[in-house]
């Protein structure tokens, strides 16, 4: 589909779904964003839903300003995936031991490694730049400097919520049956701590006093507050990318130990909570994607569904009306609290049939029924991406 303009905004808010299906709270947020004086335009993805300050599934282009809430608290959160030479026929009938091996190698939830992971000891892990990366920690906002030990041990860990590690099988096409590895995670506690500190600073700035929502407070280019946020943001985005790289290397090692003949293609990786400097219509803009991936022409990306519905590998079409973006997933259709009230453990088992995964009360809020229909989401963004591969998980690890 092509976009629809959301009425009642100063800047254009282009929507890649039926505006009538957007929850009232999210629609209000979008109108608030579109009213900000610094906003050049907003692209709303078909997985849009309510978030703190800014909606999840929104791409916001600003002139010389940034709203930390438009990035979110999990700075640099994103996806990584790699195709293997294996097929589903190579996988064991009982996938339980493989799931347990993954959970043993990669801490989940609030857990961390007992000792920091040494990337130089992981086969295939790039070793360049680590010393320079960690040397920048001392220049971060002073309030987080005591968290360095925790940040080093959480590097290479999954977290909880909608983060996951999966073994998937390609559906249909010439490579049907091919096995992929996939994971979703971000900047862990350190990214959250940095984001929350900067959001608090922004809320107190005089130019944000009359905003319709103080959570949309912005930093302005040329100020020390903006410089500090950009510095910490850049570091946290790199932390998230390195976190996924370590996890993917650890995951590959687990699979290599279980299935010795495995070989891996080049990984695909993409942020979906981040900031980029981009140029549209001859104007230099700061583009924030909160629950959206870059989909420039030829860009490979990953759009997951839920723990029972599979995912898509996509190639961007470079649609500049959407600031070269696409959705980051299916998007929630109900809150976690409502999902827990609506569904049971029995429902979870039914909706994840055939997937080796947790099927207990701790992950009921991640049940497929709490998410939008991924097929419909993909259909609504046919002018943003083309499908490269459709994957269905057979193993899913959650925190």
Active-site choice (207, 328, 346, 390)? 328
| Sole residue written with tokens 């360049």 | 128
User: Which tokens in the block code for residue 247?
Assistant: 């996890």
Binding residues for GMP: 162-166, 272-273, 304-307, 311, 328-331, 398
Q: DSSP letters of 60-106?
A: EEESSEE-GGGT-SSTT-EEEEEEEEEEGGGS-S--HHHHHHHHHHS
| Sole residue written with tokens 């990669």 | 106
- Whether the CB-CB separation of 97 and 60 falls below 8 Å is answered with no
Active site residue 346: no
* 135 three-class SS: helix
Long-range contacts of 338-344 (CB under 8 A, 24+ apart): 338/370, 339/364, 339/365, 339/366, 339/367, 339/369, 339/370, 340/364, 340/365, 342/369, 342/370, 343/367, 343/369, 343/370
Binding residues: 74, 162-166, 184, 272-273, 304-307, 311, 328-331, 398
Q: d(Cα 190, Cα 141) in Å, to the nearest integer? A: 11
Cross-strand bridge partners of residue 271 = 78
Q: d(Cα 368, Cα 331) in Å, to the nearest integer? A: 11
Binding residues for Mn(2+): 74, 163, 184, 272
* 382 three-class SS: coil
Helices (H), the chain: 24-35, 96-105, 130-135, 148-154, 188-203, 224-258, 336-342, 345-351, 374-379
* Residues labelled as active-site residues: 328
């Amino acid at each position: 589909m092509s976009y629809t303009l959301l009425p009642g905004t100063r800047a254009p808010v282009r929507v890649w779904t039926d505006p009538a299906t957007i929850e009232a709270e999210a629609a209000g947020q979008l109108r608030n964003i579109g009213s900000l004086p610094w906003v050049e335009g907003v692209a709303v993805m078909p997985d849009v839903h309510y978030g703190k300050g800014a909606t999840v599934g929104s791409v916001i282009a600003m002139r010389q300003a940034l709203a930390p809430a438009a990035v979110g608290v999990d700075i640099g959160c994103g996806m990584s995936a790699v195709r293997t030479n294996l097929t589903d026929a190579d996988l064991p009938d009982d996938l339980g031991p493989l799931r347990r091996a993954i959970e043993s190698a990669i801490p989940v939830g609030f857990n961390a490694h007992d000792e920091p992971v040494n990337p130089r000891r992981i086969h295939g892990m790039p070793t360049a730049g680590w010393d320079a990366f960690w040397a920048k920690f001392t220049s971060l906002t002073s309030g987080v400097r005591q968290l360095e030990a925790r940040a080093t041990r959480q590097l290479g860990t999954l977290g909880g919520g909608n983060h996951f590690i999966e073994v998937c099988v390609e559906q249909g096409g010439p490579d049907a049956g091919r096995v992929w590895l996939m994971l979703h995670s971000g900047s862990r506690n350190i990214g959250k701590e940095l984001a929350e500190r900067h959001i608090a600073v922004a809320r107190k700035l005089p130019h944000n006093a009359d905003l319709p929502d103080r959570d949309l407070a912005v930093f302005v280019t040329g100020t020390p507050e903006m410089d500090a946020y950009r510095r910490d943001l850049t570091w946290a985005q790199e932390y998230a990318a390195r976190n996924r790289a370590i996890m993917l290397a650890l995951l590959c090692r687990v699979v290599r130990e279980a299935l010795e003949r495995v070989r891996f293609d080049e990984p695909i990786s993409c942020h979906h909570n981040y900031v980029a400097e981009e140029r549209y219509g001859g104007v230099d803009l700061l583009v924030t994607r909160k629950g959206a991936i870059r989909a420039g022409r030829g860009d490979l990306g990953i759009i997951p569904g839920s723990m029972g519905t599979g995912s898509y590998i996509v190639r961007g079409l470079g649609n500049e009306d959407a600031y070269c973006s696409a959705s980051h997933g299916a998007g929630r259709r109900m809150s976690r609290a409502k999902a827990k009230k609506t569904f049971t453990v029995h429902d979870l088992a039914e909706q994840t049939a055939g997937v080796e995964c947790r099927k207990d009360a701790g992950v009921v809020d991640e049940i497929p029924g709490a998410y939008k229909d991924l097929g419909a989401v993909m259909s609504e963004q046919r002018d943003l991406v083309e499908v490269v591969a459709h994957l269905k998980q057979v193993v899913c690890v959650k925190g």
